[in-house]
A = this chain, B = another copy of it.
């Protein structure tokens, strides 16, 4: 029997980043742009803000006229009125002040705002008990962004703050990298569609398809389901080629037997050049994973067991989607710290992804491994996250502090 050539998980991620790149640019409305990455640098077309604004409720003054004022010797100003929100500010002369609200425009002559709590008002006379420095309580014109400055760099992921920043500049459309369309096929003659009410002996419902489509949607891609492929090479190849033409990433799932696996590998080799890059990954569960580059498009063959298939797609499928979407690739994975409740053995030389459940106790958060075969999906439904045991470790001991990657 041929031994499977396995690749380290870190190496697989490197292969993904070197073999594939961001998809073509597209223009999208700002209100739909969340989750996309900019394909060009964006410059500020104007100053933000475009006028000097107060950061407090108070009186706009000429700062030097407050110098020396104190509780005992207040400076006195003549209040000429109020800056209305959204309106140009009136002019002030020396000795005058003007009521201004937070966010309001400062009179052109004014360079500071004295907070309302440091004043006392008597008719139009405002006593000011504190000195303010020039610029105090003011956001200056262009302080957030100066006209012509880089607002966001190429590749920047558009989250809520970026959308707000672009909206404040009046930008309503942005050039972004297109997000991938992902085609899914299920394989294996034992599979039937999950909406089939009654099964014949030996049949299994295709549970991977709806689960994987959800993961693909979560990752920001647009999934397409091609159905269950029969174990007939010509049909298998024809359907795969047609789908690959329509999508940016092709995924095969199901079919845990060596036969189906070989069959999928053989098909992938026919889909384009250079073909298979990875024939197996040194992780558990999920070793029998295939990754290919078929004429520039990534093709992923997931392992057959459902727990393995979902874990592998979550890690490597998401990495491919991020790469195609133009993400710079986050170097940091958020984790949850917990105390391991029992010893776990691990074979050195392969990375173990242990399903764990988290429980809160008086001593803090506890991580409880959920054991069970990778064919038993219930074990992943019970788990809150994955505990990674690196290849060089031989196991972990009860009481150790561990870091859990949440399964969301």
Partner of A101, one of B170, B257, B408: B257
Partner of A188, one of B85, B189, B214: B85
Q: Is the CB of B257 within 8 A of A381?
A: no
The size of the chain A interface, using a CB distance under 8 A, is: 108
A21 within 8 A of B: no
A-side interface residues toward B, CB under 8 Å? 1, 30-31, 34, 48-51, 53, 55, 57, 83-89, 101-105, 116-117, 139, 143-145, 151-152, 156, 159-165, 167-170, 172, 188-192, 194-197, 199-215, 217-218, 231, 255-260, 304, 306-307, 310, 314, 331-338, 358, 360, 365, 373, 375-378, 380-381, 383-384, 405-408
Across-interface contacts of A384 in B (CB, < 8 A): 332
CA distance A380 to B196 in the complex (A): 49
In the complex, what's the smallest C-beta–C-beta distance from A260 to chain B, in angstroms? 8
Q: Is the CB of B332 within 8 A of A365?
A: yes
Can you list 30 A-B contacts with CB-CB less than 8 angstroms, sorted by A residue number? A1-B116, A1-B117, A30-B210, A34-B217, A51-B201, A85-B202, A86-B190, A86-B204, A88-B200, A89-B202, A102-B256, A102-B304, A103-B256, A104-B257, A144-B376, A145-B378, A159-B381, A160-B212, A160-B214, A160-B215, A161-B307, A164-B207, A164-B210, A165-B207, A167-B207, A167-B209, A169-B205, A332-B336, A333-B336, A335-B336
Q: Is the CB of B167 within 8 A of A86?
A: no
Across-interface contacts of A383 in B (CB, < 8 A): 161
Q: Is the CB of B258 within 8 A of A101?
A: yes
Q: Is the CB of A189 within 8 A of B86?
A: yes
- Minimum-distance CB pairs A-B, first 9: A101-B257, A164-B211, A334-B334, A167-B194, A168-B207, A161-B380, A34-B214, A86-B190, A88-B201
**Residue of A88, A156, A161, A365 with most partner-chain B CB within 10 A:** A161
Across-interface contacts of A165 in B (CB, < 8 A): 207, 377-378, 381
* Number of copies of this chain that the complex holds: 2
CA distance A381 to B337 in the complex (A): 27
Across-interface contacts of A360 in B (CB, < 8 A): 331-332
Q: Is the CB of B168 within 8 A of A205?
A: yes
Across-interface contacts of A333 in B (CB, < 8 A): 336
Known: A89-B202, A164-B211. 19 other contacts (CB 8 A): A34-B214, A50-B199, A83-B202, A86-B190, A86-B192, A101-B256, A101-B260, A103-B304, A104-B190, A139-B373, A143-B376, A160-B211, A160-B218, A160-B314, A161-B306, A164-B306, A167-B194, A332-B338, A334-B405
**Residue of A156, A192, A334, A335 with most partner-chain B CB within 10 A:** A334
In the complex, what's the smallest C-beta–C-beta distance from A28 to chain B, in angstroms? 13
**Residue of A55, A170, A197 with most partner-chain B CB within 10 A:** A170
Partner of A164, one of B203, B256, B377: B377
CA distance A210 to B30 in the complex (A): 8
In the complex, what's the smallest C-beta–C-beta distance from A228 to chain B, in angstroms? 10
